[in-house]
Amino acid sequence: MSGYRAYCAFILSLLPLWAGAFPKADPVPGGVAIIPLASSATAKPSATYDGKAVLVAEHDGQWLALIGIALGTPAGLNFVQINDNSEALLDIFPKQYVEQRITLKDNKHVDPNPKDLKRAQADKKQSDKALATLSDTNPQLDFIWPHNGPLSSPFGLQRFFNDQPRAPHSGLDIAAPQGDPIKAPAGGKVILVGDFFFNGKTVFIDHGQGLISMFCHMSKIKVSTGQEIKQGDVMGLVGKTGRATGPHIHWSLSLNNARVNPLLFLPPRP
């Protein structure tokens, strides 16, 4: 490790692992970087990374930038632009995720026919637009678990369906019985609901400032587009719609349009 990277690792070790009310810092692909900007006694600053505005929140008397780092981002030095007149260094550290191999009996979700592929492409356009939402709402950052079931598939897995490589797993899977309620981890606005080819019955929630939740594979959706919801409200019921081998909750969390590990926003399990 170079002298500079060793210094960055030391500084990172001094950052508190925020519990409950603030996410944990983990500046790796699929993680979250936390950059101090200014004292909260000053006007709220703005910050951009990779040309995108990033979430800025106040914590313990300081303005902090929360930056989502996309899976596949190479390790190395980057820059965060602050108020268009200064820069902060962001050092992204490498991370290797493990592989997962899944066998699907219905091959249509592995090799879709032209009609299904056209549908999936249209679904993706809707999803991409929702995940790129950037509202001015100050987000609630003290997240709760959407269900008390065990984790069945962690974030970031390099996935193979019927031995064919696919994109990394960009969310958490929580095992849960069919029909169980799924609770909103934080308040926000429902910006899209739909029944998609791969993701099944899905709900998108805008928590504010580019922080978006996506819940997939529901058996039933209990909210509607444009609805304001509170933390703990039931969004839908556990199911196995779309590409799923059994009933479970798939939760993707997007920050400045980068999929990040939801565990970084959650308190430890009791």
pLDDT at residue 4, rounded to an integer = 41
Model confidence at 187, pLDDT cuts 50, 70, 90, reads: very high
Parallel, antiparallel, or unpaired for β 234-237 and 248-255?
unpaired
- Nearest to 236, CA basis, from 223, 249, 224, 248: 223
* Tokens at 269, concatenated: 């399990």
Residue labelled with tokens 């069919």: 178
Helix (H/G/I), strand (E/B), else coil: 118: helix
Q: Is the separation of the CB atoms in 155 and 263 below 8 Å?
A: yes
pLDDT at residue 117, rounded to an integer = 78
pLDDT at residue 169, rounded to an integer = 77
Checking if the pLDDT of 104 tops 50, the result is: yes
Same fold yes or no, 3-92 and 99-265: no
Report pLDDT digits (tens) over 55-84: 999 999 999 999 999 998 999 999 999 998
Q: How far apart are CA 63 and CA 42, in angstroms?
A: 9
Backbone φ and ψ of 88, nearest 5°: -125, 145
Per DSSP, helices labelled H in the chain are 3-14, 114-131
We find that the CATH architecture of domain 99-265 is Distorted Sandwich (2.70)
Q: Taking the domains of the chain in order of start, what are their residue ranges?
A: 3-92, 99-265
Model confidence at 267, pLDDT cuts 50, 70, 90, reads: very high
Fold of 3-92: Immunoglobulin-like (2.60.40)
DSSP code for 143: -
pLDDT at residue 2, rounded to an integer = 45
